[in-house]
Amino acid sequence: MKQWSREIEINSSIEHVWSYLNGSLEQMQKIMPQVVDNTPVHLTDEVVGSVYRQKYKEGKRIEEYDVHTLEYLNQANDKKMKIGFTLANMFEITALYELHRVNDQTTKLKYTATNKALKWYAKLFMIFANEKVVVTFLENVKKVAESEAPASRT
């Protein structure tokens, strides 16, 4: 299994950044445009245990998989969500998003991704896997959140 973890500081409120991760499909698509559908299959009151059927477009192909909410925390200064899914019966993937309120207009976002090959031949792909996806994702969230951030109150 491989794991990558990076963090970035975003000049936007924690609630605004959280809206891309814990909001509507429209908000999610701003930072993950390849996600074309995110339909609830099973929702729980405590969020952990909830399942969403997600469709992801890669080129002309659309992959469909169930995303399970494994951890969830939604407090004023700290927010966390961990999801997990199996991609094409070949990879078990988790994504952990941790947000920390630095101040009213600054949020620290830590993103940790894991990827576990489920088939022997899938392990060959893992040799070339690197943290570029994690870095690119964080930079994209920062760019989108800062460009859409509500004006600070002075």
State whether residue 139 is helix, strand or coil.
helix
8 A C-beta contact, residue 91 and residue 117: yes
Can you say whether the dihedral through the CA atoms of 124, 7, 143, 68 is positive or negative? Answer: positive
What pTM was estimated for this model as a whole? 0.91
- Is the pLDDT at 153 greater than 60? The verdict is no
Which residues on adjacent β-strands are paired with residue 101? Answer: 107
Alpha carbon distance 103, 112 (integer Å)? 23
Average pLDDT over residues 5-25: 95
d(CA 152, CA 61): 41
Give the tens place of pLDDT for each residue, 21-31. Answer: 998 999 999 99
* Whether pLDDT at 87 is above 90: no
Name, in order, each residue with C-beta under 8 angstroms of 107's C-beta and a sequence gap of 6 or more.
9, 10, 12, 13, 14, 16, 17, 99, 100, 101, 145
pLDDT of residue 123: 83
Range name among 20-24, 45-49, 108-112 with the lowest pLDDT average? 20-24
- As a whole number, the mean pLDDT across the chain is 92
pLDDT in tens, 52-76: 999 999 889 999 999 999 999 999 9
Express as a percent the part of the chain with pLDDT over 70: 97
